[in-house]
Amino acid sequence: MIDNFDLSSYLSPSRVLSFRKASKEQILKALIENLNNDLDEDHSETLSAAIFAREKETSTGIGNGVAIPHARITNIKESIISIARIEKGINWNAIDKKPVHLVFMIVTNAVEDRKYIKLLSRLMLGLKDESYIKKLIKAPSTDDIYNKLVTKRQ
């Protein structure tokens, strides 16, 4: 669960995307474009280079159908998250070798190490609940995914 962790300060309804089927590259590019639209200036090239370099280094698939590609970028003002749900799942070379259905892309300022580590670790811990992940995957709309992520659950 992601209780006591306010994702609403990093996420907005417009940053939750849904795909029936797509490639890993298509998902990454769509999330990069989606995030870049909400940044204070165009960071698309820097963001794309950082995200794809990170994925080349090692997979960000953490298991349980989840991947968390992430990057730290100079000159952005605030941490930001965009999410893609892939209904059919996608091969992401995840640590458990299972298809990925939820991709959480995190971008933070390059100098905010503590915030970056805290955000990444809290998200990873919160996404270990398999029943919660299934609810997000099966949510009827992106608004429903957003609401499930930002409202406190019991």
Structure confidence by residue, pLDDT tens digits, 99-148: 999 999 999 888 877 878 888 888 888 788 889 899 999 999 999 999 99
Q: Give the per-residue pLDDT at 4.
A: 44
Task: Determine, yes or no, domain membership for 49.
Answer: yes
Domain span at 119: 7-150
CB contact at 8 A, 144 and 13: no
Task: Determine, yes or no, domain membership for 1.
Answer: no
The yes-or-no verdict on residue 69 having pLDDT over 70 is: yes
Burial of 60 per CB tally in 10 Å (0-12, 13-18, 19+)? buried
Distance separating alpha carbons of residues 142 and 75, to the nearest angstrom? 29
- Other beta carbons within 10 angstroms of residue 151's beta carbon come to 9
Number of domains in the chain: 1
Mean pLDDT of 34-49: 91
Q: What is the CATH number of the domain that holds 91?
A: 3.40.930.10
CB contact at 8 A, 136 and 2: no
> What global pTM score does this model have?
0.91
Task: Determine, yes or no, domain membership for 51.
Answer: yes
